[in-house]
Amino acid sequence: MSVATGQARRRWAVVAAGVALLCALPAIVAALPVPASPLTPAQLRARVIASGDVAYQGYAESHIDLNLPKLPHLGNVITLLDGTTDQYTWYRSPQQWRADMLSAAAENDTYQTSQGVFVWDYASSLLTQIVGNQPVRLPRAADLLPPQLARRLLGFAGRADRMYRLPAQRVAGIDAAGFRSVPGSPASTIGAVDIWADPANGVPVQVEIFARGNSSPVLVSRFLDLEFARPPVATITPTPGPGVTFAATELPNVAGVLNSFGPALPGKLGGANRVPNPGGLANVAAYGSGFARFAVVPLPASAGDAVMQTASSAGASIEVPGSIAAVLISSTLLVMLIVRSPIGHTFLLTGAVTARELELAATQLLDY
């Protein structure tokens, strides 16, 4: 063997070893211990709440297993709340962000801009501008991103909830500190909410929700890739290309529709006080505090008939004093009760509360 050949082999061996080291580096880094944060749970919670102005961009995945039945007019929402959702997101501020929801067959993007909200449907090549305010809206994919989800959950947390420190863990390359919030009310079906966040800026990177009595989370939302960089305005601005159809749609007058039928709702149900709601929705109410909150929604006659029929095939008929029909649907976390009064009013009661809580509330509602 010549000297030149031996040197060449040694050089290639060094190159091969370097490539192998680079390939193994992510696994090596992931296996390193995560340093504990000196922040207390209360301090970390405060940073999470105050993190709304921190810019970032990344890729997140959420998985939910609520086992909800298909209800009329809510197919997309039910799909969102049962399964896996992948999203790319670019976030400059609460008023400027973009979230792209991806699936094997479709892409749906949401843009929040200074000109309002835009929705892009890749399959139909349609860009829609949503005109008007949205005091009440259905859940959308962006609500499942860890930062939005964590801050919304903490907005519901009550004074009686208890907080505990969680072991730090590495999420999307971030040495994240964590804490657990345990609802203080026995009426809540939520057993715990776990949140991990960057201890430096408070941006949540992973959220887990546990149903009461369950050791496995029913919802997990986490970043798989994350960078704290301010995306350019052009990235969060919709720019339709050739062949794209543009449409503008005005939001329906939800307050006018829902307030046009059904009796006025009481200030207290099931021992829970009514809490303020947005947009002048007098006939839609939320009750309770902390994570033990539930909503009461009066349904128009046609919608009430459809919901009651579908619910009857997916849930269990029960007896509620004062009702002529009542159907209970229980999932791992959410509980829904549909009741009909003798004069034909149909009400949907739903929340992360026990069936007993909703049955008591329905009984008092029908007697109001």
Partners of 207 in beta bridges: 195, 221
Per the structure block, which two tokens stand in for 73?
A: 């007019």
Q: What is the CATH number of domain 254-366?
A: 3.40.1000
> In angstroms, rounded to a whole number, what is the distance separating the alpha carbons of residues 99 and 91?
8
> Three-state DSSP class for 161?
coil
Task: Catalogue the E-assigned strands of the chain.
Answer: 56-65, 82-93, 96-102, 107-113, 116-121, 126-131, 162-171, 174-182, 190-197, 204-211, 219-227, 245-250, 268-269, 272-275, 285-289, 292-299, 316-317, 325-330, 335-340, 346-351
| pLDDT in the model for residue 24 | 46
Specify whether the CB–CB gap between 338 and 324 falls below 8 A: no
Q: How large is the average pLDDT for residues 191-202?
A: 97
Q: Which of 302, 322, 300, 326 is nearest to 312 (CA)?
A: 326
Q: Could you write out the DSSP letters of every residue in 81-100?
A: TEEEEEEEEEEEETTEEEEE
Q: How large is the average pLDDT for residues 185-192?
A: 94
Cβ burial, residue 247 (10 Å; 0-12/13-18/19+): exposed
> In angstroms, rounded to a whole number, what is the distance separating the alpha carbons of residues 268 and 281?
16
Q: Between 103 and 14, whose confidence is greater?
A: 103
For 52, residues 6+ apart whose C-beta sits below 8 A from its C-beta are 93, 94, 147, 151
> In angstroms, rounded to a whole number, what is the distance separating the alpha carbons of residues 254 and 284?
10
Residue range 209-267, pLDDT digits in tens: 999 999 999 999 999 999 999 999 999 999 887 888 988 887 655 555 455 556 778 99
Q: What is the mean pLDDT of the chain?
A: 84
- 335-340 β-sheet, strand order: 268-269, 272-275, 285-289, 292-299, 346-351, 335-340, 325-330, 316-317
| pLDDT in the model for residue 258 | 53
Q: Which of 348, 194, 336 is nearest to 262 (CA)?
A: 348
Among 100-104, 130-134, 153-157, 166-170, the least confident range: 130-134
Crossing angle of the two packed helices 41-49 and 146-156, in degrees rounded to 10: 110
pTM: 0.84
Q: What does residue 91 show for φ and ψ, rounded to 5 degrees?
A: -130, 120
Per the structure block, which two tokens stand in for 345?
A: 């009013």
Q: Between 69 and 109, whose confidence is greater?
A: 109
Q: Between 307 and 73, whose confidence is greater?
A: 307
Q: Between 157 and 258, whose confidence is greater?
A: 157
Please tell me if the domain spanning 41-250 has the same topology as the one spanning 254-366: no
% of the chain exceeding 70 in pLDDT: 80
Q: Between 27 and 98, whose confidence is greater?
A: 98
Partners of 102 in beta bridges: 86, 107
Residue range 80-91, pLDDT digits in tens: 677 899 999 999
Q: How far is CA 106 from CA 17, 103, 124, 224, in A?
A: 41, 5, 9, 21
Q: Tell me the CATH architecture of domain 41-250.
A: Clam (2.50)
- Chain centroid to CA 26: 29
> In angstroms, rounded to a whole number, what is the distance separating the alpha carbons of residues 57 and 74?
30
Q: Where are the domains of the chain?
A: 41-250, 254-366
Helices (H) and strands (E) in the chain, counts: 7, 20
